[in-house]
Structure 1
Amino acid sequence: MNKDTMAGKWEQLKGKAKEKWGDLTDDELLEAKGNAQYLAGKVQEKYGKTKEEAEKEVNDWFDSNKD
């Protein structure tokens, strides 16, 4: 999914993101606005993952929520 499409669907996906990464605050999810890099950085920070692990997890999640 391209970045424009993801940003446009972010309002719909925020709830799913909150389910997956419950430690992220509503403000952090609001700030993410569908930005995979920002979201991966927050996942890395909150869950103690490496940059690569967080990026893969976020990218896999975005891919699974294409529809």
Structure 2
Amino acid sequence: MDWNRVEGNWKQIKGKAKEQWGKLTDDDLDVISGRRDQLEGKIQERYGYAKDQAQKEIDDWYNSQKW
């Protein structure tokens, strides 16, 4: 599954993202709307991560999902 399908199925997938990154609010997830760059930015903001660390977390999460 590529990231475009994540965007297309965001309503179903955002619960999994919330489980992974509990500091993200429902409003954050609604604004992100499946866009990877938005997700990276919110993770950086909420967790104080550097951009490369946020990208690695997203990659690890994405690859661990049973799509």
Query: TM over 0.5: same fold?
Result: yes
Instruction: Give the Å deviation of 1:66.
Output: 5.5
Which amino acid in the other structure matches residue 5 of structure 1?
R
User: Alpha carbon RMSD of aligned pairs, Å?
Assistant: 1.4
1:47 equivalent in structure 2 = 47
SS of alignment partner, residue 11 of structure 1? helix
Counterpart of 1:31 in structure 2: which amino acid?
Answer: V
- After superposition, the C-alpha distances for 1:2-34 in whole angstroms (9 at most, x for unaligned) are 332111111111111111111111011011111
Could you tell me how far apart the structure 1 residues matched to 2:31 and 2:40 are? 13
Deviation digits for residues 19-63 of structure 1 (CA, Å, limit 9, x no counterpart): 111111101101111111110111011101111000111122122
Structure 1, 3-12 or 39-48: larger mean CA deviation: 3-12
Q: How does 1:1-67 map to 2 (within 5 A)?
A: 1-65=1-65, 67=67
Structure 1 gap ranges (5+): none
1:37–1:55: 8 Å Cα contact kept in structure 2?
no
**Bigger relative contact order, structure 1 or 2 (CA pairs below 8 A, ≥6 apart):** 1
